[in-house]
Amino acid sequence: MRTLVKFFLRYYYFLLFLTFEIFSIFLVIENNNYQKTLFLNSANFFSGNIYKGIANLTSYINLKQTNEELSAENTRLNNILKNSYKTNEISLLEIYDSTYFQQYTTTAAQVINNSVNRQNNYLTIDKGEKQGISPEMAVISPKGIVGIVTNVSNNFASVISILNTNMRISAMIKKNGCFGSLVWDGKNYRETILKDIPNHVKINIGDTIITSGYSSIFPKGKLIGVISDFKQKKGGNFYLITVKLSTNFKKLSYVYVIGNFLKQEQKDLEKISEND
């Protein structure tokens, strides 16, 4: 103890200078957008490489489960290919229709860092700007939605998880098309809350919840989960619905990042409508 006191007395001025220097750097980063963005991108680069090494080990341990998920996803995709269907027609004339074009693009990525036990959880993935990833892209798993890309560096990206109390997603009851707002209450990582569904709507435990497509980020119809419980708010006209998430965030290894080629066009049009 005496040695520790002597150390602080001997280097008092240096430690004081170092404290003020760190605090000054913090103020510069916090109050300047350019410096803040530069710091976040640099932090993403260094921490991303560390997380990737840890994730490679974890991925190897969970290799069997990962392969099963990828196999199931490949099976689903093969089942919806055109050559998986048989026609009853004697002959079929194929015509190229220029009215169809690609709106969404998909990029596979590996989760190299993840949290589920905080109020505001984030993920890190091993794809970044060089691989075509940009902020406000949707992130899904083979089993359901995951979150939205926030910050991007050259080779890594941060994703705000749906297990984040600041997250709001437009969700829909699949069987009737009634939509509301999906939020997380910060409690159970396997459950989230669906709000703003009127209590005159008929719902049942087990009903499927999907993305509504009412934003420029998530395409319509992406699986979120199923209703596990619901009750009417006291003195209100809406349900309080508990949704069991289809994605298990504690076993999340691989994800897909979805980009919308028409996102900016939609946002520009909506902005004009709001100003009008």
Collect all residues with Cβ–Cβ distance below 8 Å to 145 and sequence separation of at least 6: 138, 139, 162, 169, 211, 218, 222, 223, 224, 247
Number of domains in the chain: 1
Burial class of residue 24 (count of CB atoms within 10 Å of its CB; 0-12, 13-18, 19+): exposed
Burial class of residue 194 (count of CB atoms within 10 Å of its CB; 0-12, 13-18, 19+): buried
Q: Is residue 226 part of a domain?
A: yes
Q: Which amino acid is at 233?
A: K
- Bridge-partner residues for 157, per DSSP? 125, 152
Q: Is residue 227 part of a domain?
A: yes
Q: Is residue 236 part of a domain?
A: yes
Collect all residues with Cβ–Cβ distance below 8 Å to 259 and sequence separation of at least 6: 104, 105, 106, 107, 132, 133, 134, 137
Q: Is residue 70 part of a domain?
A: no
Which CATH number belongs to the domain containing residue 241 in this structure?
A: 2.40.10.350
- Bridge-partner residues for 180, per DSSP? 171
Strand ranges, E, within 78-155: 104-114, 120-125, 138-141, 144-152
The pLDDT score that the predictor gives to residue 103 is 80
* Predicted model pTM: 0.68
Burial class of residue 91 (count of CB atoms within 10 Å of its CB; 0-12, 13-18, 19+): exposed
> Consecutive 10-residue runs of the chain (276 residues): their mean pLDDT?
69 71 68 61 65 67 63 54 42 45 82 93 93 93 94 95 95 94 95 94 95 90 95 83 95 89 80 77
DSSP state of 131: G
DSSP state of 130: G
Q: Is residue 53 part of a domain?
A: no
| Domain carrying residue 222 | 169-247
Q: Is residue 210 part of a domain?
A: yes
Tell me if 110 sits within 8 A of 59, measured CB to CB. Answer: yes
Q: Is residue 242 part of a domain?
A: yes
The pLDDT score that the predictor gives to residue 115 is 93
Nearest-angstrom CA–CA distance, 91 and 81? 19
| Bridge-based pairing state of the strands 144-152 and 104-114 | unpaired
DSSP 203-263: --TT-EEEE---SSSSPTT-EEEEEEEEEEPTTSSBEEEEEEESS-GGG--EEEEEEETTH
Q: Is residue 203 part of a domain?
A: yes
